[in-house]
Amino acid sequence: MDNFTFHNPVRLIFGQGQIAQIAKEIPAGARVLFAFGGGSIKTNGVHAQVVAALQAAGLFWLEFSGIEPNPRYETLMKAVHLARAEKLDFVLAVGGGSVADGCKFIAAAIPFDGEPWDILAKRARVNTATPLGIVLTLPATGSEMNCFAVVSRDETHEKLSFGSPAVWPKFSVLDPESTYTLPPRQIGNGIVDAFVHVVEQYLTYPAQAPLTDRMAEAILSTLVEIAPAAMSNPPDYQARANLMWCAAMALNGLVGAGVPQDWATHYIGHELTAIAGIDHARTLAAVWPGVMAVKFEAKKAKLAQYAERVWNVREGSVDDKARAAIAHTRAFFESVGVPSGLAPYDLPADIADQVAARLDARNQAPLGEHGDIDSAMVKRVLAAA
Ligand code: NZQ
Ligand code: ZN
């Protein structure tokens, strides 16, 4: 087991009717930036619940709407200017991962001395941020319980991430009922994103961390078990509740404790969103088979363990089990409506060259748990996907 520090200060407030709790969580006298996306929260009653809670607490707030999926720097900077001009001192994000991430960037940029884009492009240090809380309506990214964010810039077609202890949410409210209005596409995306977050931290090489492995397997098995009911309409409260809990646990540091981590699928996937606008989770299902094919030898011991424990594959050699694990995973993605492999997606013919050139330009490769996926190997991954 590797050395690690585990620290997660997010107060997670979970369950039906819990949005009202934000009245107690936001400091008295705060001037709140209440930020949200394209309007889903107005159709499912979440906006009304947030307004009721803010009123109950006697808080002043201004609304900022229109944070897009894959939140754009250009839009977020408008919120930063509003917050600075109005001296807003608490950011409340209400929506999916894009709103949560966008608000982490807003919170970091408000007091930032300099060009806020540098936080993403130059990894400029974020020493302080306006305090932030989240009301989550889409289980997927884990943003509700981590200190990372991903932001896109229209002008340059870039999608970049940052992380800072300054942007840990003070609290996150997870009410499974707020997910009832999600279209099946977003539920499927959420299941795949949470699943791949675990897999990025689990499918590497054996590291003698059996507790961390079993926690990862518990999340994967739970996602497999609840997926059919989570996809169902009318919505199933218990399935949605367990999906929300899985997604939060998948990327809050716990299943990364003491083990090597990969993340190649995510880094390559972010480029597919930046270039072709594909939903985040779909890029993962597109790229993941390629990473498994190219890194098969290095990963097969963990793939076989995963096959046995999550998919109950008992027969065959290590290679057979590892191959079965990949096939089961691809079928699982398809079962929640997310096509797997590159072929089903509409991508330019030179996509592999474009992705490799972008990673090179940013010195982002080599990727993977062994740090050996250089840009030439990224091309092989995309060819094999
Ligand atoms: O904008 P609104 O109207 O709210 O609609 C959204 C959006 O169109 C809609 N939606 C959200 N909650 C809803 C709902 N529709 C009906 N009912 C509800 N309850 O869903 C659409 C997609 O929302 P979005 O927030 O974009 O999805 P998601 O949560 O999947 O977030 C994706 C973003 O998170 C980043 C991704 O790269 C992407 O930019 N990620 C963030 C991570 C992190 N912070 O740790 C890690 C992830 O790997 C990921 O990279
Ligand atoms: Zn993800």
Pick one of 1.10.357.10, 2.60.40.420, 1.20.1090.10, 1.10.8.100 as the CATH number of 183-384: 1.20.1090.10
pLDDT computed for residue 272 by the predictor: 97
pLDDT digits (tens, 9 = 90+) for 310-366: 999 999 999 999 999 999 999 999 999 999 999 999 999 999 999 999 999 988 889
Selection from 195, 179, 283 nearest residue 231 by Cα:
179
- Region for 33 from its dihedrals, namely left if φ exceeds 0, alpha if ψ lies in -120 to 50, beta otherwise: beta
How far is Cα of residue 197 from the mean position of the Cα atoms in its chain? Answer: 7
Q: How far, in Å, CA of 317 to CA of 307, rounded?
A: 11
Q: Do domains 11-178 and 183-384 have the same CATH topology?
A: no
| Joined tokens for residue 304 | 């076989």
Selection from 160, 179, 382 nearest residue 283 by Cα:
382
CA of residue 193 to ligand 2 center, whole Å: 5
| Joined tokens for residue 332 | 């699982």
pTM of the predicted structure, to 2 decimals:
0.98
- Average pLDDT (52-56) is 98
Residues flanking ligand 1, CB < 6 Å:
37-41, 44, 69-70, 95-99, 101, 137-138, 140-143, 146, 148-150, 178-179, 181-182, 186, 189, 193, 251, 266, 280
The SS3 of residue 225 is helix
- Best mutation site among 43, 152, 186 for ligand 1 pocket (most ligand atoms within 8 Å of CB): 186
CA of residue 366 to ligand 1 center, whole Å: 28
**Every domain of the chain and the residues it spans:** 11-178, 183-384
pLDDT computed for residue 45 by the predictor: 97
Pick one of 3.40.50.1000, 3.40.50.2300, 3.40.50.1970, 3.40.50.150 as the CATH number of 11-178: 3.40.50.1970
Q: What is the CA radius of gyration of the chain?
A: 20
Q: What are the φ/ψ torsions at residue 261 (nearest 5 degrees)?
A: -130, 150
The SS3 of residue 163 is strand
Residue 281 is inside which H or E element, if any?
helix 280-294
Q: How far, in Å, CA of 350 to CA of 330, rounded?
A: 24
pLDDT digits (tens, 9 = 90+) for 238-278: 999 999 999 999 999 999 999 999 999 999 999 999 999 99
